[in-house]
Amino acid sequence: MLFSNLPAPLSGALAARGYEAPTPVQAAVLETEAVGRDLIVSARTGSGKTVAFGIAMAAELLGEDERIIPSREPHALVIAPTRELALQVSRELIWLYGPTGARVVTCVGGMDASKERRNLNHGAHIVVGTPGRLRDHLERGALELSALKVAILDEADEMLDMGFREDLEEILDGTPNERRTLLFSATMPKPIVQLAKRYQKNALRISTVEADRGHSDISYQALAVSPSDIEHAVINLLRLHEAETAMLFCATRDNVRHLHATLVERGFAAVALSGEHSQSERNAALQALRDRRARVCVATDVAARGIDLPTLSLVVHVELPRDGETLQHRSGRTGRAGKKGTAVLIVPYQRRRWAESMLRNANIPVEWVPVPTPEDVRAKDHDRLLEQLLAPVETDEDDRALAERLIAEKSPEDIAAALVRSYRAAMPAPEELVAATPEAHRAAQVDRHRPGFDDVVWFRMNLGRRQNADPRWVLPLICRRGNVTKNDVGAIRIGPNETAFQVPRALAAKFIATVAKTATADDDVLIEVSENAPVPARPPAGARQNQRGPARSSGPRRSHDRH
């Protein structure tokens, strides 16, 4: 299927942008059975879904002369979860519908609401906005939806996750019953199904998820690290790849703030995006990335939605996504428009099994790689420097005159060494990480007698050398789960499959009660009283690891903030 069967203004706009053939989701909405019907579409980030719903609504917006049908009230409404995504959608529709004479108005939080009301009052054929701002304009009478022909919900699942259900219902309740409703959602949870039943009629279900799955332009890698070395791993990854633009994903705004400060302190040109930043701050950060003043963006999931950076080639999941769908959305920021990208998951040792299960269930092929060492980074630096210095360059007379003066003062070897030193001095130094070998863990094992530990109770947890247990994160884990300080924990002995540790008998009852309270449904770490001698070997019969889900006891602390 080609775009030639579209109205001439749209096919011309697509050709001017370099589009030759539709993507799977674009082809699906052009099929005969989809024309004029309500649609429920599942498609992944980067699949071309903005153009898909743009061409899907053409029949409702264009007249026989293939120009936009004149109207002061909007005929199409597109609702998106975030400002960035709404602005991106608006830019796409402006160039797509520009040749038709369509007027596109954007209404998003953080922008001048009075200017938006003036734009709406002047007449709009297509309105794109976020739920809260659209509802505000609707209640103030600035947004008139009585003539609406098409309503589009982009990333509907995300909007419901963000608590916009009431806003969406009020907006849709204010539209004509005979309108078309196109619902784009990467997943189909129960709330989405309920929304579809209420606001759609005889909807056609379209899914290109399998066709898009395992994005061929994205290479997935994963590496297991000690929780205390996560930031060091981030630094070494950035230095190893030296990507033109890289995006780092954290779970909360607090963690974004901390990691951003760490990177800036280390000499990286980095910006941050989270819910605490104003629209002007977000725009400034994105502009810094586009004009190369910054090369690293640290962001939360929601803040990064809708961001399109052509030079983005590296995505690092500093904190693991909650599921495979989120992983795909995050990673989809790279590997776009035919360019190659790399997505790297940083996995705390004790969450490796959960990460493997998530990747397997999402059908995402991944390569487990070692954490980049300083030696790896320096070797890559050598290659990059040689490539840079040996590449052909244009020189003028001033350049040659200065070169001759340098050669007269110093030997070629000294000049070359100074160039290498200057190159290295401009780059942040890589970090040393904990060795991931059993011998290193045994060498780090803590087992010494301390005063006050003559009468103790031995406990055990189902993590050992084979799970890469390390005292540097095992001790904080014990303290967190039992609400004790490090001074309340005695000897720690790490065995092949489990770890034994001491707690003073006077604290034992309170400790085990607190451990039970802090256990969660997704906690993979089992802590219990050890009845046997405190020399871990094979786990006792029946003492299998808890299968309830991943441990969340490592890494930065999470809050409920998703912005």
Predicted confidence (pLDDT) per residue in 92-110, tens digit: 999 999 999 999 999 998 7
Return d(Cα 270, Cα 292) in angstroms, integer. Answer: 10
> Residue 210 has what pLDDT?
57
pLDDT at residue 103 in the model? 94
**558 pLDDT tier (thresholds 50, 70, 90):** very low
Alpha-carbon span 306 to 41, nearest angstrom: 18
Assign domain 218-375 to its CATH superfamily: P-loop containing nucleotide triphosphate hydrolases (3.40.50.300)
> pLDDT tens across 152-170, in order?
999 888 788 778 899 999 9
The alpha carbon of residue 409 and the mean position of all alpha carbons in its chain are separated, in whole angstroms, by 52
Number of separate helices (H) and strands (E) present in the chain: 23, 18
CATH superfamily label, 3-212: P-loop containing nucleotide triphosphate hydrolases (3.40.50.300)
Predicted pLDDT of residue 90: 93
Fold classification of 438-529 (topology level)? Alpha-Beta Plaits (3.30.70)
Q: Would you list the domain boundaries of the chain? A: 3-212, 218-375, 438-529
Q: Would you tell me how many other CB atoms lie within 10 Å of the CB of residue 394? A: 5
pLDDT bin (cut points 50, 70, 90) of residue 518 is: confident
Identify the band that residue 543 occupies on the pLDDT scale cut at 50, 70 and 90.
very low
Rounded to the nearest 5 percent, the helix, strand and coil shares of the chain are 45, 15, 40
The pLDDT value recorded for residue 67 is 93
pLDDT band at 549, cuts 50/70/90? very low
Say what the pLDDT of residue 554 is.
Answer: 37
Per-residue pLDDT, 223: 93
The reply to whether 3-212 and 218-375 are identical in fold is yes
DSSP secondary structure, 472-507, as one string? HHHHHHHHHHHT--GGG---EEE-SS-EEEEEEHHH
pLDDT band at 306 (very low <50, low <70, confident <90, very high): low
Kindly report which listed range (103-107, 312-316, 329-333, 518-522) carries the lowest average pLDDT score: 518-522
pLDDT-based confidence at residue 536 (cuts at 50, 70, 90): very low
Per-residue pLDDT at 557: 36
Cβ(335)–Cβ(217) under 8 Å? yes
- Given this model, what pLDDT does residue 553 score? 35
Q: Residue 334's Cα: distance from chain center in Å?
A: 10
